[in-house]
Chain A
Amino acid sequence: MARFRLNRRDVLRGAGSIAIGLPWLEAMEPVGTAHAAAPTVAQRFLAVYQPGGNVMDQWHPTGSETGFTLSPILAPLEAVRSKLLVLSGLDMKSAVGEQHQAGICALLTGMPQGTAGEFVTGPSVDQVIATIASQGKPRSSIEIAIRWATGKSHGLLHPINSMTFANDANASPVPPRLDPADIFNSLFGGLQPGDDGEATANVQRKLSILDFLDRRYASVAQRLGASDRLKLEEHLTRIREMEESLRTLGTPGGACAPPEFVETPDYDPTSGRNSADDGSIQDTSSDAAIPVVGKLMMDMLVSAMACDLTGVASLQWSDTEAKHTFPWLNLSEHHHYYQHDGNFRPVECQQIATWYSEQHAYLLQQMDAIDMGGHSLLDESVVFFGSEISHPPEHTKTDMPFLLAGGGGGLRGGRWLQYESQSHNDLLIAILNLFGDTRTTFGDPSYVNGPLSGLT
């Protein structure tokens, strides 16, 4: 098949790859302060997950709504303070079920896990937003995870590591992408200058194949019993999405630029498959690569947004097991060990949480540096940052460490909002509302009071 390839060997490998014909624009330029023209409805949603809660007494800001001082853990976010909302006092009331599992399952769904070992029965908010924000874009959403499925899920999708759930009757967990090189090829493989016509031919070839598969899945599904038919029809839906993706050849120009790819040979993206329940197996090589891989993953997400490849994305820093070490912080035990497996170690947990704040600050700054035409990418986005628990040793799910950032839908940053035990379902509704979805309930209605006020 080599003959289909463009000059760069790895270009356009996936059926879902997109091709953008126009040349790259200049590298990203800082936008400065011109934010006037941000659309009134939020355009993009990004959810970022940090495992293992936080050191809550070192997390809350002090002061007033606008005159606040960021806590030591959040201090790295000072640089994007004007576009940041710190949310205190929200409870994840719907997180009913197992210790960590219920937390991550409810985080974006507002649904109780209920039975041990089960997932949730409703979609996550990002997948619902995708029906609005990703319309006409090649991909409905992009899920990425770093050092994921460590510990007892052994690399498999499990309630302990699943954050996003499909917006359909099954609400199946959506597996994240793990391999940086694969992600790069898949997202940006088609974004190459100097198309010599072969790319177009390969797109045509793939469309022919997908067209065949479309008809085949449809006809086979018709011959199956009820539940089997649903299964094949789900596959058919994905094939149709890929066809759609190939026909929508992306939107060229504007702020679209590919990230710089970095080789990460030390990083084993599927290392979780060899993990031990208790984290006793260490992959220090992959662990040491986390900062580099993390930056690349964030860069790719930002570029994917700027290139209009999707309107919705999520990033999981590990999963709730978080059974990896932090060599660059000189922490040789895994995160879960510091949370409670080795008794609660607030010093180490704070070190880890502060590092995550630094990463998040980088992400937000990158988004804010991209000019979408008079306003930045961050200005038209809503970025949620959260964890599955608050206080690690007790798996507390009250007073959650949640952040919002961006200016999408009129979100007003530079503020610290203090709530009094309001259900985080209300936050999920309010986020949906920022995208022009006017619903007044989301997730399990028994945990809903109505859209959270004060965001805009």
Chain B
Amino acid sequence: MQPTRVQQRAKFLRSLQLVPAVSLFASLSALGCSGGGVGGNTGGTPTGTGVGGAASGATGAGATGAGGGTGSGGGATGGVPTECTTTTNPGRAPVRRLTRFEYNNTVETLLGDTTQPGNSLPSEVLGNGYGNDADKQPVSSFLAEQYGIVAEDVAGRSAATLLATAAPCYSTATVDTEEACARSFIETFGARAYRRPLQPAEVDELLALERVLRAENTFEVSLTSVVETMLQAPDFLYRLEFGTPDAANPSLLRPTGYEMATRLAYMLWGSMPDETLVTAAASGELSTAEGVRSHATRMVENVDRMRPVVRYFFDHFLPLNTLTDLARDAVQFPTFSATIGGLMREETQLFLEYVIFQGPGDWPSALTAPYTVVNDQLANFYGIAGVTPGGQWEVAPVDTTKRLGLLTQGAIQAGTTISNFTNPVRRGVFLLRNIMCVDLPDPPEAIAGSITPPDPASRATGRERYSQHSEDVTCRNCHGVMDPPGFALENYDAVGLWRDQENGVTIDASGELPYLPAPFSGPIELVTQLAASELTQNCFAENWLNYAYGKTLGREDTCTQATVETAFAQSGYNVKALLLALTQTDAFLYLPPQEQL
């Protein structure tokens, strides 16, 4: 039976223990199920709710509607457990290295280098799905070597401009004044590169390096080499946090003002702190939750600075990276081209930006918006009339019998589709895993080996092609849960266009999902229920938590997670409020005590 909201909350809090789903397969034979979309791990969504608990509902009678699964008002049903409010629970805060995304943004802010030199660094580990998992940042020889190569290039490129602005004394320096000039350069540039003022001893050490280099090189070279050095220093590449005792409770550690400025800057803007944050750090404004909130508010309201992080997040949260060069059969899909795929990605990104920063602002609205953002080319593709010619993007209403919100957009439908044929399993898994954070097990090895997708020509509709899943008890346990939401999206073809029929047969897009309160007749009812589900909201928050804190949430983050989810719910699931809430947790405002060897 469907778990109640409270039960779900309880399960949620038990967090990592929720993987009984594997047992579903315990008795399975080696029979293969056709055409999974579940093979392989794409990283990303850690635990939320296991399909195991739900599967019994799916196979049992009267799975839906019954029980306590109704009512949508209970967003924060569970609220924040008492133990979370009476103690401070910072959780783990492993040291984070700049990702390539952050490295690029940082050298742009620091040195005006817009060449994205960080792209020459080796791959991050996918880890938490956002490539920024601090527990998965190994240092290979290749990485260390590339840091050196990239630093030399960046320093060389920016030297002239940098020295003219940060070391004006450089051009007129004499043998007698060089050292003082170098010292002042190290102090001013160093404070920006290290995101904090340098200690006198640190200045001395860098100056000593500069003097050694100067003995064999020109002054320009020795100063530029210092820049090259700083760009490889741990103080630049890593977000080092040592903290300072909390004034109110000295047994607790808080990030210093500068460390907090850095936390805010990278979390919200994906780059180093701006002048305002640096000033705030120096004046102690960032030593209270209110001070942090006030600056976070200022930052969240700056759409232009928020855009890179928001785009990066959604590029990883949704299947958007895949769209820019999507290939489809030109005969079957004559109006589709790779350009359209790229426009779909832009549609979704602009739509989300509009909803979050100009429109209603809440996640359920993003999932149920009766409009999208298109230009004329994309509008023609979709068949949306009345869009101004000329390529500019505008908000346009959609036919709400066929489309409603994010999940019905072409980007999502095409982005979750294998080649020229829709795969309901893949789409269903996407909704469950990525949008609702339901923990789905991969098919076990015994079965996985023999999985082959059904012949696209075998049956008329997707539901029929994948009927083995409902006929074969081996498959039904899990696919009975995974497939129905995918079937509900069968009205969208492989390029995301609406279709009523497939091969002359009317598509049956009805179904039910044990996590949702009622059966749905098609995609519109499905997304409407998804948008009202607390699982969906919590999943969105969980993804932001993972991204923002650069780790995979663990058991010790239960309180932080509950705090953020509660604040998110209380705001009516406002996305900007969620981002602010991320800055108000124990995890963000405090540091754990230093781990001992």
Are A343 and B453 in contact, with the CB atoms below 8 A? yes
Known: A1-B221, A15-B148, A341-B418. A166 touches B125 (CB 8 A): no
Kindly report which residue of chain B lies nearest to residue A279, judged by CB atoms: B419
Cβ of A395 under 8 Å from chain B: yes
Kindly report which residue of chain B lies nearest to residue A148, judged by CB atoms: B123
Cβ of B7 under 8 Å from chain A: no
Are B148 and A242 in contact, with the CB atoms below 8 A? yes
Are B319 and A277 in contact, with the CB atoms below 8 A? yes
- A280's partner among B225, B326, B442 (CB-CB below 8 A) is B326
Known: A16-B145, A154-B321. A100 touches B40 (CB 8 A): yes
Are B324 and A2 in contact, with the CB atoms below 8 A? no
Kindly report which residue of chain B lies nearest to residue A217, judged by CB atoms: B234
- B321's partner among A221, A228, A234, A274 (CB-CB below 8 A) is A274
User: Smallest CB–CB gap between B447 and chain A, Å?
Assistant: 11
Are B213 and A157 in contact, with the CB atoms below 8 A? no
A155 to B322, alpha carbons, bound, how many Å? Answer: 12
A209 to B151, alpha carbons, bound, how many Å? Answer: 11
Are A99 and B445 in contact, with the CB atoms below 8 A? yes
User: Smallest CB–CB gap between B108 and chain A, Å?
Assistant: 19
Give how many B residues have a beta carbon under 8 Å from the other chain's beta carbons: 78
**What residues on B are CB-neighbors of A13 within 8 Å?**
149, 152-153
Cβ of B82 under 8 Å from chain A: no
- A238's partner among B123, B144, B235, B240 (CB-CB below 8 A) is B144
Are B149 and A201 in contact, with the CB atoms below 8 A? no
Are B452 and A234 in contact, with the CB atoms below 8 A? no
A226 to B595, alpha carbons, bound, how many Å? Answer: 5
Within 8 A of B (CB), among A30-46: none
Are A116 and B144 in contact, with the CB atoms below 8 A? no
Kindly report which residue of chain A lies nearest to residue B119, judged by CB atoms: A270
Kindly report which residue of chain B lies nearest to residue A171, judged by CB atoms: B138
Are A216 and B233 in contact, with the CB atoms below 8 A? yes
Kindly report which residue of chain A lies nearest to residue B138, judged by CB atoms: A172
User: Smallest CB–CB gap between A30 and chain B, Å?
Assistant: 33
A173-181, A403-411, A423-431: which lies at the interface: A173-181
Cβ of A50 under 8 Å from chain B: no
A246 to B581, alpha carbons, bound, how many Å? Answer: 49
Are B234 and A216 in contact, with the CB atoms below 8 A? yes
Are A280 and B145 in contact, with the CB atoms below 8 A? no
Kindly report which residue of chain B lies nearest to residue A234, judged by CB atoms: B139
Known: A157-B123, A241-B141, A278-B418. A232 touches B43 (CB 8 A): no
User: Smallest CB–CB gap between B494 and chain A, Å?
Assistant: 9
A273 to B143, alpha carbons, bound, how many Å? Answer: 17
Kindly report which residue of chain A lies nearest to residue B420, judged by CB atoms: A280
Cβ of A27 under 8 Å from chain B: no
A97 to B41, alpha carbons, bound, how many Å? Answer: 11
Are B156 and A283 in contact, with the CB atoms below 8 A? no
Within 8 A of B (CB), among A192-233: 201, 204-206, 208-209, 212-213, 215-217, 220-221, 223-229, 231-232
Known: A201-B216, A227-B595, A270-B119. A277 touches B138 (CB 8 A): no
Cβ of B39 under 8 Å from chain A: yes
Are B209 and A208 in contact, with the CB atoms below 8 A? yes
Cβ of B232 under 8 Å from chain A: yes
**What residues on B are CB-neighbors of A274 within 8 Å?**
321-322, 324-325
Are B148 and A158 in contact, with the CB atoms below 8 A? no
What is the interface residue range for chain A against chain B? 35 or more
Known: A3-B221, A274-B324, A396-B449. A205 touches B144 (CB 8 A): no
Are B326 and A204 in contact, with the CB atoms below 8 A? no
A270 to B319, alpha carbons, bound, how many Å? Answer: 19
Known: A242-B148, A281-B327. A152 touches B42 (CB 8 A): yes
Most A CB contacts (10 A, CB to CB) among B152, B218, B240, B594 go to B152
A152 to B131, alpha carbons, bound, how many Å? Answer: 13
- A156's partner among B125, B152, B228 (CB-CB below 8 A) is B125
- A1's partner among B224, B234, B596 (CB-CB below 8 A) is B224
Most B CB contacts (10 A, CB to CB) among A159, A228, A282 go to A228
Are A4 and B124 in contact, with the CB atoms below 8 A? no
**What residues on A are CB-neighbors of B148 within 8 Å?**
14-16, 206, 209, 242
Cβ of A54 under 8 Å from chain B: no
Cβ of A28 under 8 Å from chain B: no
- B453's partner among A15, A179, A275, A341 (CB-CB below 8 A) is A341
**What residues on B are CB-neighbors of A177 within 8 Å?**
122, 142
**What residues on A are CB-neighbors of B240 within 8 Å?**
220, 224
Are A281 and B325 in contact, with the CB atoms below 8 A? yes
Cβ of A62 under 8 Å from chain B: no
**What residues on A are CB-neighbors of B122 within 8 Å?**
157, 175-177
Are A175 and B143 in contact, with the CB atoms below 8 A? yes
Cβ of B511 under 8 Å from chain A: no
Kindly report which residue of chain A lies nearest to residue B127, judged by CB atoms: A156
- A173's partner among B119, B138, B595 (CB-CB below 8 A) is B138
A181 to B325, alpha carbons, bound, how many Å? Answer: 25
User: Smallest CB–CB gap between A116 and chain B, Å?
Assistant: 5
Are A98 and B42 in contact, with the CB atoms below 8 A? no
User: Smallest CB–CB gap between B102 and chain A, Å?
Assistant: 15
**What residues on B are CB-neighbors of A220 within 8 Å?**
234-235, 240
Are A231 and B419 in contact, with the CB atoms below 8 A? no
Cβ of A316 under 8 Å from chain B: no
Are B155 and A1 in contact, with the CB atoms below 8 A? yes
User: Smallest CB–CB gap between A56 and chain B, Å?
Assistant: 14
Cβ of B505 under 8 Å from chain A: no
Cβ of A88 under 8 Å from chain B: no
**What residues on B are CB-neighbors of A280 within 8 Å?**
322, 326-328, 417-419
Are B41 and A159 in contact, with the CB atoms below 8 A? yes
Cβ of B26 under 8 Å from chain A: no
Are B144 and A235 in contact, with the CB atoms below 8 A? yes
Are A155 and B141 in contact, with the CB atoms below 8 A? no
User: Smallest CB–CB gap between A297 and chain B, Å?
Assistant: 15
Cβ of B137 under 8 Å from chain A: yes
Cβ of B473 under 8 Å from chain A: no
Are A212 and B595 in contact, with the CB atoms below 8 A? no
Cβ of A304 under 8 Å from chain B: no
Are A15 and B209 in contact, with the CB atoms below 8 A? no
- A277's partner among B42, B131, B224, B450 (CB-CB below 8 A) is B42
Known: A140-B141, A172-B140. A186 touches B149 (CB 8 A): yes
Cβ of A48 under 8 Å from chain B: no
- A343's partner among B126, B233, B455 (CB-CB below 8 A) is B455
**What residues on B are CB-neighbors of A57 within 8 Å?**
none
Are B419 and A98 in contact, with the CB atoms below 8 A? no
A212 to B225, alpha carbons, bound, how many Å? Answer: 11
Interface 1/0 per residue, B27-42 and A, CB below 8 Å: 0000000000001111
Cβ of A436 under 8 Å from chain B: no
Kindly report which residue of chain A lies nearest to residue B156, judged by CB atoms: A1
Are B142 and A98 in contact, with the CB atoms below 8 A? no
User: Smallest CB–CB gap between B460 and chain A, Å?
Assistant: 19
Known: A117-B41, A227-B595, A235-B139. A281 touches B322 (CB 8 A): yes
Are B216 and A204 in contact, with the CB atoms below 8 A? yes
Are B449 and A394 in contact, with the CB atoms below 8 A? yes
- B126's partner among A14, A158, A342 (CB-CB below 8 A) is A158
Within 8 A of A (CB), among B440-494: 442, 445, 448-450, 452-453, 455
Cβ of A289 under 8 Å from chain B: no
Cβ of A153 under 8 Å from chain B: yes
Closest CB pairs A-B (n = 7): A172-B138, A1-B156, A15-B148, A225-B595, A238-B144, A276-B322, A175-B122
Could you list 12 A-B pairs, sorted by A, with CB under 8 Å? A1-B224, A16-B144, A156-B125, A172-B139, A174-B141, A177-B122, A201-B216, A201-B217, A213-B229, A232-B238, A279-B419, A396-B449
Given contacts A212-B229, A238-B139, A274-B324, 13 further A-B contacts (CB under 8 A): A1-B159, A1-B221, A1-B224, A14-B145, A96-B445, A117-B41, A154-B321, A157-B124, A177-B142, A201-B216, A226-B597, A234-B139, A273-B321
Instruction: Name A's B-contacting residues (CB within 8 A).
Output: 1-4, 13-16, 96-102, 116-117, 139-140, 143, 149, 152-160, 166, 170, 172-177, 179, 182, 186, 201, 204-206, 208-209, 212-213, 215-217, 220-221, 223-229, 231-232, 234-235, 237-239, 241-242, 270, 273-283, 337, 340-344, 393-396
